[in-house]
A = this chain, B = another copy of it.
């Protein structure tokens, strides 16, 4: 008869509303203060008590994970939309759209791709399809791999984090450069691409390297 509050079953209406207020507040606070912002501040901005925050998210970590899941969810949707693009342009459209979207969530991007979550795998699979399609239409060089695109995401992350507050569009220019490098060319890229297995490890380890203890 009692509802279960966690992922599985639906929340009571006010509880669901609080959950959303908290996520919104977290986005704002993390963007303003970085991920060292205190949970108390997030609760304050959300207009709820800190106890409520902890009832919704048993841990600061859990709150961040929820945010990331939101972003990934949107990103997956963008990738799905891009897959339906004609003439192999889906990949470029996706890179542009997802970067633009992430530019609104700079505060915790660093954590974005860390989860070894199923959703990340989904995104990667969709990207792989986009890549195949783009190559098929001759838009992208043949020696470019799916893992190269993951590295490109980290690359855009680095640029975003550095430039966002002052030059919110600088990443577009950098994406130009990346895409120029992906175009078909006479000579192959000198070094071998990262293997998918290694990338898995990267994503799994990433978390540890950010949260020491």
- List A residues at the B interface (Cβ < 8 Å): 32-34, 36-37, 110, 113, 141, 144, 148, 151-152, 154-159, 161-167, 169-170, 172-174, 176-183, 185, 189-194, 198-199, 201-202, 205-206, 208-213
Contact = CB atoms under 8 A, between A and B. Distances in A.
B163 A151 contact: yes
Contact of A166 (B154, B185, B202, B213): B202
B152 A177 contact: yes
Contact of A155 (B166, B174, B198): B174
28 contacts: A34-B210, A34-B211, A36-B212, A110-B161, A141-B180, A148-B174, A151-B177, A152-B177, A154-B163, A155-B174, A155-B178, A158-B159, A164-B209, A166-B198, A170-B202, A172-B191, A173-B189, A173-B192, A173-B193, A176-B189, A176-B190, A176-B191, A177-B181, A177-B189, A179-B181, A180-B180, A180-B182, A180-B185
A191 B68 CA distance: 29
Contacts of A164: 209
Contacts of A198: 166-167, 170
Give the number of times this chain occurs in the complex, counting copies: 4
Nearest to A171: B151
Given A167-B201, A170-B198, A176-B189, 14 more contacts: A33-B213, A36-B212, A113-B162, A151-B162, A154-B162, A154-B163, A163-B194, A163-B202, A166-B201, A167-B194, A169-B191, A170-B194, A177-B181, A180-B185
